[in-house]
Chain A
Amino acid sequence: MLKILKYSIFDLLRSRWSYVYFVFYLILGFVLLFLNNDVNKAIITLMNIIIVLTPLIGTIFGVMYYYNSKEFTELLLAQPIKRSKIFMGQYLGVSLSLTLSLVLGIGIPFVLYGLFKSASIFDFGLLIVVGAFLNFIFVALAYNIALSNENKIKGFGYAILMWLFLAVIYDGIFMILAIKFQEYPLDKFALGSMMFNPIDLSRTLILLKLDISALLGYTGAVFKEFFGTNKGLILSLLVLCLWVLFPLFRMAKKLQKKDF
Chain B
Amino acid sequence: MIQIQNLHKKFGKLTVLDGLDLTIEKGGIFAILGPNGSGKTTLIKCLLGMVVPNKGKIEFQGKSTLKKWDYRNNLNYLPQIANFPSNLSVIELINMVKNLRPKQANEKELIDLFGLNPFLQKKLGNLSGGTKQKVNLVLTFMFDSDLIILDEPTTGLDPIALIYLKDLIKKERNKGKTVLITTHIMSVVDELADEIVFLLEGKIYFKGSIDTLKKQTNQTSLEHAIANLISKQYTN
A interface with B by C-beta (< 8 Å): 3, 7, 11, 14-15, 69, 71-72, 74-83, 256-260
Contact = CB atoms under 8 A, between A and B. Distances in A.
B100 A11 contact: no
A79 B99 contact: no
B52 A78 contact: no
B67 to A, nearest CB: 8
A77 B87 CA distance: 20
Which range holds the interface residue count of chain B?
Answer: 20 to 34
Interface of B: 11, 45, 48-52, 67, 69-73, 77, 79, 81, 83-85, 87-88, 96-97, 99-102, 139
Contact of A75 (B52, B69, B71, B79): B79
A15 B87 CA distance: 9
B100 A83 contact: no
Contacts of A14: 87
Contact of B84 (A72, A81, A82): A72
A72 B72 contact: no
B87 A78 contact: no
28 contacts: A3-B99, A7-B96, A69-B85, A71-B81, A71-B83, A71-B84, A72-B83, A74-B50, A75-B79, A75-B84, A77-B48, A78-B48, A78-B50, A78-B79, A79-B100, A79-B101, A80-B69, A80-B70, A80-B72, A80-B101, A81-B100, A83-B49, A83-B69, A256-B52, A259-B11, A259-B45, A260-B45, A260-B50
Contacts of B101: 79-80
Contacts of A15: 87
Given A259-B50, A259-B51, A260-B50, A76 B100 contact: yes
B72 A79 contact: yes
A258 B85 contact: no
Contacts of B49: 77, 83
Given A78-B50, A258-B52, 6 more contacts: A69-B85, A71-B81, A77-B48, A77-B50, A78-B77, A80-B102
